[in-house]
A = this chain, B = another copy of it.
Amino acid sequence: MTTLDLTGDVVELTRTICDIPSVSGDEKALADAVETALRSRPHLEVLRDGDAVVARTSFGRGTRVVIAGHLDTVPIADNLPVVVDGDIMRGRGTVDMKAGVAVALHLAATLTSPRYDLTFVFYDHEEVAARLNGLGRLVRNHPEWLAGDFAILGEPSDGTVEGGCQGTIRVKITVPGVAAHAARSWRGSNAIHSAGAVLDVLRAYQPRQPVVDGLQYHEGLNAVKIEGGIAGNVIPDLCTVYVNHRFAPDRDVAAAEAHLREVFAGFELEVVDAAPGARPGLDRPAAKEFVELVGRPPQAKLGWTDVSRFATLGIPAVNFGPGDPLLAHTDNEFVPIPEIRQALRVLESWLS
């Protein structure tokens, strides 16, 4: 087993943990190394569930900050071991998200007297089906391990704070008709034509752009699938439109569903799936200080991310980590080394 030096140089630590392959489902070697290294730090209590490792302080501070990151990567594309080229570290996992994990490991090991109590969460299976997600499993099995007032996910965010996330709900709208032979179409009722009224609603819809906890979100309402038709000579008796609504975190899933039922009043509507958004929580005192230290205006996170899993526990959460998120999953994945050091500097200043 590779021994991790958590207190040394964070860039070397990034390289070391990148070079322990940990494609989703194969995180054990890295999780073992992380657990062992953390257990050697007496100020930390270390817990484990599968290949998720949790380490936390218990200094009796009035506020607890949670710092989380996933250990797994997408499959290796002949891009390990990592290569350092000037200010760039290149290879699988560098940006998504072992640089963020290395920063968190270094903080866990070195902040022996932090300003707030701290909980560090390193988890498995982020890059695969949602039902396998290690953070989701901790939410189900041990929600008390994740308790806190504010959470930071170390996903790459170009060094800015990306706050919260929007929720998503998918509904299936079923438009009926009456089948008939196309030669006598007036004896039937064309379901595809009737679905035009659903598209009318979508075309006329004005999405909200609400400000939530200081960040501006941007909603959306879109057909993502349409299907109808039986045969080339038959008036269709059914047309189905699948609609995806992305909603700002000032609404929960129930409110989003109610909104859709109002917008599509008169249509048969069925919820296919939904995931709540997450408030950024940047109005909390601890979060405000953090954002000031980052020194750049925070951005609303529009896509759905694992911060929403904290939101289900009532914990506001943000993304903050080194590197460009658009490089995640690319074969050319890399992280700028100065951004690793800068992320560590900001978090150290805030938490010391």
Contacts and interface: CB of A to CB of B under 8 A. Distances in A.
A199 interface: yes
Contacts of A199: 192-193, 195-196, 199
A228 interface: yes
A232 interface: yes
Interface string A230-269: 1111111001011010100000000000000000000000
Given A166-B183, A183-B304, A193-B199, A231 B224 contact: yes
Interface in A199-221: 199-200, 202-203, 218, 220
A196 B190 CA distance: 14
A131 interface: no
A183 B301 CA distance: 9
B228 A232 contact: no
A227 to B, nearest CB: 5
A182 B219 CA distance: 10
Oligomeric state, in copies: 2
Contacts of A170: 232
A236 B222 CA distance: 9
B185 A196 contact: no
A223 B232 contact: no
B242 A232 contact: yes
A288 interface: no
Contacts of A231: 224
| Interface bracket on A | 35 or more
Interface in A146-191: 166, 168, 170, 181-186, 190
A183 B246 contact: yes
A225 interface: yes
Given A183-B304, A193-B203, A244 B232 contact: yes
A29 interface: no
Contacts of A166: 183
A30 interface: no
A185 B217 CA distance: 13
Given A242-B229, A242-B232, A223 B303 contact: no
A313 interface: no
A185 B209 CA distance: 13
19 contacts: A170-B232, A182-B222, A184-B220, A184-B303, A186-B220, A190-B222, A192-B202, A192-B222, A192-B224, A192-B226, A193-B203, A193-B222, A196-B200, A224-B230, A224-B232, A224-B236, A225-B232, A226-B226, A226-B229
Interface of A: 166, 168, 170, 181-186, 190, 192-193, 195-196, 199-200, 202-203, 218, 220, 222-236, 239, 241-242, 244, 246, 272-273, 302-304
By Cβ-Cβ distance, the 4 closest A-B pairs, closest first, are A225-B229, A196-B199, A185-B220, A192-B223
